[in-house]
Amino acid sequence: MNEEINKNQDIDDKESAIYAFKKIVEAYKGQLAGKIVEALARYGELTDNEIAERVDADDSEVRRIIWVLAGEGLLISKKVVNDTGWITFFWKLPLDQVDGLILSLYRRIIDRLEKKLEYETSNIFYWCMDRNHERLTFSEAVDNMFKCPVCGKTLMPYDNSELIAAIKYSIGEMKRFMNEYFMEVKENTAESQ
Ligand SMILES: [Zn+2]
């Protein structure tokens, strides 16, 4: 009976770890990266092409993200050489390291958001109001005599208070998510002892 409960507990732990891993990879590298993690969680081991099929996205874009994730140790590969010398890579999730990876990604995401927040709060921005053109900082605007370097339109003060609020919200959400996740891990470890 207890063994049965422990087994279910293990499955729950694994599922919540994979869910948390997917969420954090998504926050770090975008939606497609999250989908790739989800596909590998479901199917275990897949080739590039199989992943592209499962996530229904462009092959080369999927491959690019796979190598980015693999480069950061977020996916692991198994190289299989067949009789004719053809090499196939099979990808899978580093399941035994998920908690450590979640924590390190979390720190990187928070760090990135805090730097962004610092940049937004410590600068005044000017903008030509064309979505395809970059905002300029005050000193950049002075250098360009308050004209957009791309279209030449007059630069207007840009109110970034909504952006600042959005970054603060993301930081808060990320911290809440992590607290909940690691609280759960701690509780489950305590229960199973
Ligand atoms: Zn412009």
**Residues 28 and 108: beta-carbon distance below 8 Å:** yes
- In the reported structure, the alpha carbon of residue 161 is separated from the centroid of ligand 1 by a whole-number distance in angstroms of 21
Say how many Å lie between the CA of residue 147 and the centre of ligand 1: 8
173 and 109 inside one domain: yes
Instruction: Check whether residue 90 and residue 103 sit in a common domain.
Output: no
Cβ(39)–Cβ(46) under 8 Å?
A: yes
Digit-coded pLDDT (tens) for 114-152: 999 999 999 999 999 999 999 999 999 999 999 999 999
| Residues 144 and 86 placed together within one structural domain of the fold | no
pLDDT tens-digit profile of 20-61?
A: 999 999 999 999 999 999 999 999 999 999 999 999 999 999
Q: How far away, in angstroms, is 162 Cα from ligand 1 center? A: 21
Q: Which domain holds residue 22?
A: 2-94
C-beta of residue 102 within 8 angstroms of C-beta of residue 37 = no
Confidence at residue 11, expressed as pLDDT on a 0 to 100 scale: 67
Q: Are 83 and 108 members of one domain? A: no
Both 65 and 32 in a single domain?
A: yes
Query: For ligand 1, a single-atom ion, which residues have Cβ within 5 Å?
Result: 128, 130, 133, 148, 150-151
Q: In the prediction, which pLDDT does 109 show?
A: 94
Number of H helices and E strands in the chain, helices first, is 7, 5
Same domain, 16 and 45: yes
CA atoms within a 13 Å half-sphere pointing along the CA-CB vector of 31: 3
pLDDT, residue 184, reads: 74
Tell me the C-alpha distance between 191 and 142, whole Å: 62
Tell me the CA–centroid distance for residue 148 and ligand 1, in Å.
Answer: 5
CATH assignment at residue 89: 1.10.10.10
Q: Which of 94, 115, 140 is the last residue of a domain?
A: 94
Q: Which of 36, 70, 94 is the last residue of a domain?
A: 94
Nearest to 65 by CA among 87, 50, 77, 48: 48
Give the predicted TM-score (pTM) of the model: 0.78
- Of 94, 122, 155, the residue at which a domain comes to its end is 94
pLDDT at position 190:
72
Going from the Cα of 132 to the center of ligand 1, the distance in angstroms, rounded, reads 7
